[in-house]
């Protein structure tokens, strides 16, 4: 007998799995072919795993070293079987792998899956492809025997709230000496998946490049291979069609879109390896995973090793594909992957090549690159913060929203349009384009026609905190440190004299009075060269953090809270009223106007005043006093 033949144990599905099954059972997806691609992919993974494990433990193959995947349609029984002789699963692995979804972001994934248009692409990316079988089957039996163990187990579910796990019968155990056998009891409307030509069509469309033979068994029990089972990346580029690349991308990346960029090349010399990489058109579902892991698969001489080798930096984690080395040892451990000099060399070469190819795309096909940047630009910009070695290359690649155009611009274009005497590249960081465009800190730049980069991605507040330059021109924040636009001519020269701030004793008295009124709410009060229309703004010191970074850190309780500098437009009527109030000895008015100026500056930065009720009270009081004085 096979192990413990006691009665089957019933288990409840994890809540997320139950919801997922409900979506599959009542699926609105028309492209149900995805289920076969997913089950074949899982079988391929199982074969990859045993081949890798057998390097150290050859006895696992036990004389059965021809790894293959079999499709067995049975018209009489209305079943389709997908079988492999890979690593197999024991009882606990059946429960863990088929009863739970142990992934972060599950709820977000399920929400996305409810969108029929997007759902098909998410199924494989999230690693829950097995459940797609419930789109075509009303009952599934999984018989599995893990290599190196003596027991065979059966998992059964009808797609309801639970499943059963039991020891296999002698007959079932005999049929699965190693690996996994999935039997789908097909729904009435899925009968086409019993037809050989239909199964062959799906395999050729989605799984032709699976490295293990996929065999289709006919009603006489004879098997024939229906996939190419060749490593596409090892073939010459001249032998591969665009359609071949597209299908390979979809199989490797578990995606349904078209690749925006394909890299296929071989490196020969001190070490040899083949590369097949794809830049997607649409963002993968796991792009924002906090782990920031890449998904480039590492092979050694066509043997799959891992997809966790971090072959590309985290800021290129959207790239999918394969690297196949001829020189690395097959028994690579995680520690060896981190420290192996050959792997480090591969990593360096891959990152440089991907960035070079993206630069080439930007030059040859600006529209195609714009789509790539629209999908992955915020991720690539993480490299500006992390990758000092390639920072210059990444800056050249980066595209920016600016005050000069409704289309994205490069720094090369920016520098080509510098104003006379302009020696710096100006930028402003915030949380939305519209809010930045209305920010008063742009006023002096706008008066001179100076283009300003508008940065709204969260990473922008971090990479800009480090000194940056492009073609010898430093990047300068409009909300940090001192600014001097004096040498750049105004668009309206007639306004030049009026715009220059005064340094009179009266102005100094105003600055002193405001500082005394506001106390330690601010670090300094000074006359502004940024403002031409607004009364006040808040900036950071040259030695401190930019204002947007301070806000981000404060929200996360990570050390924000440095006191800002309040800059005043000394020509503004509200600021001049301070002098009038001082002359009249109206100390309360001075305090109220100073507080109002500070609150206005916070609001213009997208912040709520520290004391909203006090702000409203002061504003109302000043308006009432103004009306009374006018009456």
pLDDT for 321 equals: 94
Task: Inform me whether the pLDDT recorded for 298 exceeds 70.
Answer: yes
Task: Inform me whether the pLDDT recorded for 497 exceeds 70.
Answer: no
pLDDT for 549 equals: 84
Is residue 571 within 8 Å of residue 503, measured between CB atoms?
no
pLDDT for 302 equals: 81
Query: Region 456-475: what's the mean pLDDT?
Result: 93
pLDDT for 113 equals: 56
CB hemisphere CA count around 513 (13 angstroms): 27
Assign 430 to helix, strand or coil.
Answer: coil
Q: How far apart are CA 427 and CA 455, in angstroms?
A: 7
Query: Region 372-380: what's the mean pLDDT?
Result: 96
Cross-strand pairs, 405: 402
Task: Inform me whether the pLDDT recorded for 376 exceeds 60.
Answer: yes
DSSP string of 229-254, one letter each residue:
---GGGS-GGG--HHHHHHHHHHHHT
pLDDT for 128 equals: 59
Any idea which residue has 């607004």 for tokens?
534
Mean pLDDT for the chain overall = 87
What's the start-to-end Cα distance of the chain, in Å?
104
pLDDT for 138 equals: 92
Task: Give every strand in the sheet of 79-84, ordered side by side.
Answer: 9-12, 162-167, 152-157, 137-145, 179-186, 79-84, 69-74, 214-217, 223-225
pLDDT for 24 equals: 67
Higher pLDDT: 596 or 4? It is 596
Task: Inform me whether the pLDDT recorded for 79 exceeds 60.
Answer: yes
Q: How confident is the model at residue 484 (pLDDT cuts 50, 70, 90)?
A: confident
Q: How confident is the model at residue 558 (pLDDT cuts 50, 70, 90)?
A: low
Q: How far apart are CA 135 and CA 27, in angstroms?
A: 6
Task: Give the annotated binding-site residues.
Answer: 38, 42, 84, 89, 97, 104-105, 125-130, 180, 334
pLDDT for 262 equals: 96
308 CB neighbour count, 10 Å cutoff:
15
Q: Which of 145-154, 231-240, 298-307 has the lowest mean pLDDT?
A: 298-307
Query: Region 333-360: what's the mean pLDDT?
Result: 90
Task: Give the annotated binding-site residues for ATP.
Answer: 38, 42, 84, 89, 97, 104-105, 125-130, 180, 334
Q: How far apart are CA 328 and CA 341, in angstroms?
A: 10
Task: Inform me whether the pLDDT recorded for 27 exceeds 70.
Answer: no
Query: Region 41-53: what's the mean pLDDT?
Result: 92
- Reported as a single tens digit per residue, the pLDDT across 86-134 is 999 999 999 888 876 645 455 555 555 555 444 444 554 544 578 888 8
Task: Inform me whether the pLDDT recorded for 296 exceeds 70.
Answer: yes
pLDDT for 545 equals: 84
| pTM, full prediction | 0.73
pLDDT for 498 equals: 44
- Reported as a single tens digit per residue, the pLDDT across 238-249 is 999 999 899 889
pLDDT for 116 equals: 44
Q: How far is CA 85 from CA 45, 66, 128, 145, 147, in A?
A: 11, 8, 21, 9, 9
Of all residues in the chain, the percent with pLDDT exceeding 70 is 90
CB hemisphere CA count around 116 (13 angstroms): 8
DSSP string of 445-459, one letter each residue:
HHHTT--EEEE-STT
Domains annotated on the chain, with CATH: 9-224 (3.30.565.10), 232-366 (3.30.230.80), 503-630 (1.20.120.790)
Query: Region 504-520: what's the mean pLDDT?
Result: 91
Task: Inform me whether the pLDDT recorded for 14 exceeds 90.
Answer: no
- Reported as a single tens digit per residue, the pLDDT across 387-407 is 999 999 999 999 999 999 999
pLDDT for 111 equals: 59
pLDDT for 126 equals: 46
| Buried/exposed 387-406: b ≥16 CB within 10 Å, e otherwise | beebbebbbebbbbbbbeee
pLDDT for 559 equals: 59
pLDDT for 504 equals: 82
């Amino acid at each position: 007998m096979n192990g413990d033949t006691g009665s089957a144990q019933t288990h409840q599905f994890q809540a997320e799995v139950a919801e997922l099954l409900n979506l599959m059972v009542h699926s609105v997806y028309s492209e149900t072919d995805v289920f076969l691609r997913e089950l074949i992919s899982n079988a391929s993974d199982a074969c990859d795993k045993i081949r890798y494990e057998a390097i150290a433990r050859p006895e696992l193959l036990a004389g059965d070293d021809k790894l293959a995947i079999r499709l067995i349609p049975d018209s009489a029984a209305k079943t389709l079987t997908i079988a492999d002789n890979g690593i197999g699963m024991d009882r606990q692995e059946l429960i863990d792998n088929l009863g739970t979804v142990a992934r972060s972001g599950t709820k977000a994934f399920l929400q996305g899956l409810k969108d029929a248009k997007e759902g098909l692409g998410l199924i494989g990316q999230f690693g829950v492809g097995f459940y797609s079988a419930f789109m075509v089957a009303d009952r599934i039996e999984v018989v599995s025997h893990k290599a190196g163990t003596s027991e065979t187990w059966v998992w059964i579910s009808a797609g309801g709230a639970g499943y059963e796990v039991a020891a296999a019968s002698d007959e079932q155990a005999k049929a699965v000496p190693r690996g996994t056998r999935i039997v789908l009891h097909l729904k009435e409307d899925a009968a086409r998946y019993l037809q050989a030509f239909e199964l062959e069509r799906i395999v050729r469309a989605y799984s032709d490049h699976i490295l293990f033979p996929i065999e289709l068994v006919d009603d006489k029990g004879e098997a024939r291979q229906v996939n190419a089972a060749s490593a596409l990346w090892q073939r010459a580029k001249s032998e591969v069609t665009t359609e071949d690349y597209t299908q390979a991308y979809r199989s490797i990346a578990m995606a349904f879109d078209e690749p925006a960029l394909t890299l296929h090349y071989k490196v020969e010399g001190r070490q040899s390896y083949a590369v097949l990489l794809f830049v997607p058109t649409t963002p993968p579902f796991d792009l924002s995973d906090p782990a920031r892991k890449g998904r480039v698969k590492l092979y050694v001489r066509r043997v799959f090793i891992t997809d966790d080798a971090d072959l590309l930096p985290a800021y290129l984690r959207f790239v999918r594909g394969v690297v196949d080395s001829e020189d690395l040892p097959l028994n690579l451990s995680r520690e060896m992957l981190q420290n192996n000099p050959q792997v480090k060399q591969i990593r360096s070469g891959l990152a440089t090549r991907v960035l070079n190819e993206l630069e080439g795309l930007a030059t040859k096909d600006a529209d195609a690159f714009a789509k790539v940047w629209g999908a992955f630009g915020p991720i690539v910009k993480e490299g500006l913060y992390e990758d000092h070695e390639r920072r210059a290359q990444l800056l050249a690649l980066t595209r920016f929203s600016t005050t000069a155009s409704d289309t994205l611009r490069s720094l090369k274009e920016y520098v080509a349009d510098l104003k006379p005497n302009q020696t710096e590249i100006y930028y402003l960081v915030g949380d939305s384009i519209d809010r930045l465009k209305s920010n008063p800190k742009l006023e002096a730049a706008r008066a001179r026609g100076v283009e300003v980069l508008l940065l709204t991605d969260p990473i922008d507040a971090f990479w800009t905190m480090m000194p940056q330059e492009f073609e010898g021109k430093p990047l300068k924040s409009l909300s940090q440190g001192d600014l001097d636009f004096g040498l750049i001519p105004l668009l309206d020269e007639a306004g030049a004299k009026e715009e220059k701030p005064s340094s009179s004793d009266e102005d100094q008295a105003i600055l002193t009075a405001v500082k005394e009124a506001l106390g330690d709410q601010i670090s300094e009060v000074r006359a502004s060269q940024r403002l031409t229309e607004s009364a006040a703004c808040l900036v950071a010191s040259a030695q401190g953090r930019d204002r947007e970074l301070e806000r981000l850190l404060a929200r996360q309780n990570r050390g924000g809270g440095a006191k800002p500098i309040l800059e005043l437009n000394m020509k503004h009527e509200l600021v001049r009223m301070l002098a009038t109030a001082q002359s009249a000895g109206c100390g309360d008015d001075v305090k109220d106007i100073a507080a109002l100026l500070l609150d206005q500056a916070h609001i213009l930065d997208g912040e709520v005043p520290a004391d909203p009720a006090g702000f409203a009270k002061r504003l109302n009081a000043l308006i009432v006093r103004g009306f009374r004085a006018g009456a």
